[in-house]
Structure 1
Amino acid sequence: MELGKKTIQLDKRVDLLETIGLLVQLLRPRQWSKNLLVFGALAFSVDKMNIAGMKESVIAFLLFCCVSGCVYVLNDYVDRAVDRLHPDKMKRPLASGRLNPVVALIFGGVLLVCSLTAGFYQNLLFGLLLLAYFVMNVSYSLKLKHFVIMDIMIIASGFGMRAVGGGLVLETSFTSWFLLCVFFLSLFLAIGKRRHELLLLEHDKGSHRKVLMNYSEPLLNQLSGVVSAMTIMCYSLYTFLSSQSIYLMWTIPCVIYGMFRYLYLIHVLGKGGKPEALLYEDRGILACTVVYGITVVLILNLQL
Structure 2
Amino acid sequence: MIHYIRLIRPLQWLKNVFVFAPIFFSTNLLKPEFFWPTLMVFASFCLISSSIYCFNDLKDVEADRQHPKKCHRPIASGKVSVMGGYVMMLLCTIGALAILPLAESPNTPYLYAIIIGYWLMNIGYCLKLKQFAILDVSIIAIGFVMRVLAGGIATDIYISHWLVMMTFLVTLFLAFTKRNDDYRIYEQTGTKPRVSITGYNKTFINEATAIIASVTLVCYIMYTMSPEVIHRLGTRYVYLTSGWVLAGLLRYLQNMIVFGLSGSPTKSLVKDHFVQFCILGWIASFFVIIYL
Instruction: Tell me which interval the TM-score lies in, with the shorter structure as reference length.
Output: over 0.9
Query: Which of residues 82, 100, 116 is equivalent to 1:101?
Result: 82
- Percent identical pairs in the alignment equals 29
State the Cα distance separating 1:206 from its structure 2 match.
5.3
Q: Does 1:73 align with 2:54?
A: yes
Q: Which residue of 1 aligns with 2:124?
A: 139
The SS at the match of 2:225 is helix
C-alpha distance in 2, partners of 1:135/1:27? 18
Which residue does 1:293 correspond to in 2? Answer: 283
User: How far apart are the structure 2 equivalents of 1:203 and 1:295?
Assistant: 42
Deviation digits for residues 149-199 of structure 1, max 9, x if unmatched? 101100111111111111111110221122111101101000000011101
Amino acid at match of 1:149: I
> Partners in 2 of 1:96 and 1:85 — Cα distance?
11
Q: Which amino acid aligns with 1:135?
A: L
1:27 corresponds to 2:4: no
The AA in structure 2 aligned to 1:129 is I
Consecutive unaligned residues of structure 2, counting only runs of 5 or more, are none
Q: 1:47 to 1:58 in 2, by over 3 A?
A: closer
Say whether 1:263 aligns with 2:253.
Answer: yes
- Higher deviation after alignment, 269-278 or 37-46: 37-46
> CA separation of 1:135/1:121 partners in 2, compared to 1, >3 Å: closer, same or farther?
farther
Q: 2:19 corresponds to which letter in structure 1?
A: V
RMSD over aligned Cα, in angstroms? 1.5
SS of equivalent residue, structure 1 residue 46: coil
CA contact (8 A) 1:157 1:183 kept: yes
Q: Deviations over 1:34-72 (max 9, x none)?
A: 111111112112245312222222211111110000000
Partner Cα distance (1:71, 1:205) in 2:
27
Letter in 1 for 2:59: V
1:156/1:190 contact within 8 Å kept:
yes
Q: Show the counterpart of 1:156.
A: 141
In the alignment, is the contact (CA less than 8 A) between 1:279 and 1:286 conserved in 2? Answer: yes
What is the Cα deviation at residue 223 of structure 1? 0.7
Q: Is the 8 A contact 2:40 2:99 kept in 1?
A: no
Residue type of the partner of 2:268?
Answer: L
Alpha-carbon distance, 1:111 to partner? 2.0
Cα distance in 2 for residues equivalent to 1:144 and 1:50: 40
Paired with 1:203 and 1:278, the residues of 2 have a C-alpha distance of 22
User: Could you tell me how far 1:113 is from its partner in structure 2?
Assistant: 2.0
Runs of 4+ in 1 over 6 A off after TM superposition: none
| Contact 2:67–2:191 (8 Å) recurs in 1 | no
Task: Please give the alpha-carbon distance, in whole angstroms, between the structure 2 residues aligned to 1:60 and 1:212.
Answer: 33
Give aligned pairs, total. 283
- The answer to whether the Cα contact below 8 Å between 1:181 and 1:232 also exists between their aligned partners in 2 is no
User: What TM-score, normalized by structure 1, do the two folds share?
Assistant: 0.89
Give 1:235-254 correspondences, 5 Å limit.
Answer: 235-241=220-226, 242=229, 243-244=232-233, 245-254=235-244
- Return 62-71 or 228-237, whichever deviates more: 228-237
| Matches of 1:285 and 1:92, distance apart in 2 | 26
Contact 2:181 2:261 in 1 (8 A): yes
Counterpart check, 1:211 vs 2:201: no
Q: Is the 8 A contact 1:83 1:89 kept in 2?
A: yes
Partner of 1:15: none
Which whole-Å CA distance do the structure 2 matches of 1:235 and 1:207 have between them?
A: 35
The amino acid of 1:220's aligned partner reads I
| Runs of at least 5 residues in structure 1 that lack an aligned partner in the other structure | 1-19
Q: Contact 2:23 / 2:157 at 8 angstroms: preserved in 1?
A: no
Which structure has the greater CA radius of gyration?
1
1:129 to 114, 117, 139: 114
From 275, 278, 288, give the equivalent of 2:265: 275
Q: Distance in 1 between matches of 2:262 and 2:73?
A: 19
Residues 207-232 of structure 1: per-residue CA shift (max 9 Å, x gap) = 43111112111011111111111111
After superposition, give the CA deviation of every residue in 1:238-272 in whole Å (9 maximum; x if it has no partner).
11222323211111111111101111111111011
Shift of 1:76: 0.3
